[in-house]
Amino acid sequence: MKNKSLIPIIYAIILASGVLLGFYIAKSNVVSKSNDNNDFSCINDVFSLIKDEYVDTVNINDLQAKAVTQLLESMDPHSEYIKPEILNDVNDNLNGRFEGIGVSFRIEKDTIAIINTIKGGPSEKVGILAGDRIVYVGDTLIAGTNITNKDAMRLLKGPKKTKVNVKIKRRGVEELLDFTITRDVIPTYSVDVAYMIDDEIGFIKLSKFSQTTHSEFVNALKQLKSKGMTKLILDLRGNTGGYLGEAVGIVDEMLADDNLIVYTEGEHRTRSYIFSRYRGLWENNDVAILIDEGSASASEIVAGALQDNDRGTIIGRRSFGKGLVQEQFDLGENGAIRLTVARYYTPTGRCIQKPFTGDKTEYLLEEYARYETGEMYNIDSIHFSDSLKYTTPGGKVVYGGGGIMPDIYVPLKNDSTHYFFNRMANNSILFQYAFDYADMHRNEILKYGDVNKFNEKFVFTDAIFNELMKRSEEKKIKGTEADKIVARKLSEPLFKAYVARDVFGDEAFYVIYEPMDDILQKAISVLKN
């Protein structure tokens, strides 16, 4: 199994979350095309018969929604119907803003636990703190009610200037605390972190490609350049895509004018080329791009465009392989559809879309098949047909047929010495205990002042490790004494990184975990040599 616990957790920020396996040429179009009714006479006849003749009363709108969903699922893995009740939440994820109370949270022991408040947001303004638990929203008891993320978002999101009353349980305070929060516009960010690794190498991680990604990236570049950055690591691992235009903008910052970035083509869409068109901020400086099996769509455009133009170094593991273009068409009160309208191709002519045989589940789980074939652990397990071979202008051989293969492959660790630790991490034992520890010792940890001092002085004690072992045994995960020696060595930086992130923010995770990140370390080595 994939070691998901080693990937920094991005918490829900009071908005619906989902896998963005597509990027969208058009944000939204209204369906208004005139069609010959004869083309759809069978469908129309069926719905008319059901409405007029069926034995029981039926909701035609619900029936149509089910029919549209099944229809689109039969075509390709990424065309989909979006129900009207979730459309706003889906759009919010890419719009770079939403309206709500401005907190990051997770459901912890059947309670909404506040991870942090968004700086300057409504919750921070009224005094809500990280570690607080929301017990009531209005008069509704939510603690101990099996509340879900979806339920929490529904209760806490709302239009700007509307008010919501909450009752908070705070550690060390006996009575519940009452707060009235006035909802506001809350920005969502696609640049997770941007910091200097050393005096010359800067690091930027993008979580998605929203409407604000390019501008966020430019601001991060400028900030790091002012600190002396001369080499850049752009982390696209786990980035499942978003808007095409934002990906193009980022590539344009790194390519000289008039270089092909991507082209698209479909049965009803003529071939359309997109070139770099302006002088970018990072055209002449070294760059390394990090990708993995979770990098999809717009992430692959960035990696493929730079690779095919012999610009920078792509490092990591083969990307997801999503090369289908969706447009979103609004259906008024009936929601929207995202319809695949074209394929995209890298400058050398590679179609990155991986094969689809008709089984959507098999397609989406193809990533896990890579573990079975050994691809995740050994480059010798990866084989490409000569028919998929392409050559860049600089003479570098690249391959199509399913994702971007990096210039430098970095495998996952899967030897016997890591087996016990990987099982422990995969079962979220480290992550869960780190959250509990940070919650119980938040004030003590804050006394360190910043993440660097915390990293330097915090002691990973026997008591902490013994608690990890206790929790592992409770989940029937047992190891030998030799296993535990390895696990202790590997657990210390990851535990500290999780704790630091919960107290000091996302950047703290990377600062501490950096020496353990094989892909990142390879990028640092490449840029230094």
Q: Which of 438, 441, 459 is nearest to 505 (CA)?
A: 438
Q: Check the CA dihedral 98-99-105-110 and report its sign.
A: negative
Specify whether the CB–CB gap between 156 and 142 falls below 8 A. Answer: no
Taking CA atoms, 123 is separated from 129, 133, 136, 165, 254, in Å, by 8, 13, 15, 11, 38
Choose the catalytic residue: 308, 330, 439, 502.
Answer: 308
- 235 catalytic, yes or no? no
Residue ranges of the alpha helices (H) in 74-203?
84-95, 122-126, 149-156
Residue ranges of the alpha helices (H) in 172-229?
213-226
- 322 catalytic, yes or no? yes
Cα angle 54, 60, 63; round to 5 = 95
The C-alpha atoms of residue 72 and residue 335 are separated, in whole angstroms, by 14
- 484 catalytic, yes or no? no
Report phi then psi at 189, rounded to 5. -115, 140
Residues whose CB is less than 8 angstroms from the CB of residue 121 and which lie 6 or more positions away in sequence, other chains included = 101, 102, 103, 184, 186
Q: Hey, what amino acid is at 442? A: R
User: Cα–chain-centroid distance for residue 195?
Assistant: 19
The C-alpha atoms of residue 50 and residue 339 are separated, in whole angstroms, by 27
Choose the catalytic residue: 104, 123, 297, 472.
Answer: 297
The C-alpha atoms of residue 379 and residue 213 are separated, in whole angstroms, by 33
Specify whether the CB–CB gap between 252 and 275 falls below 8 A. Answer: no
What the block records as the tokens of 233 is 């690591």
191 strand-pairing partners: 206
Residues whose CB is less than 8 angstroms from the CB of residue 380 and which lie 6 or more positions away in sequence, other chains included = none
Catalytic residues: 297, 308, 322
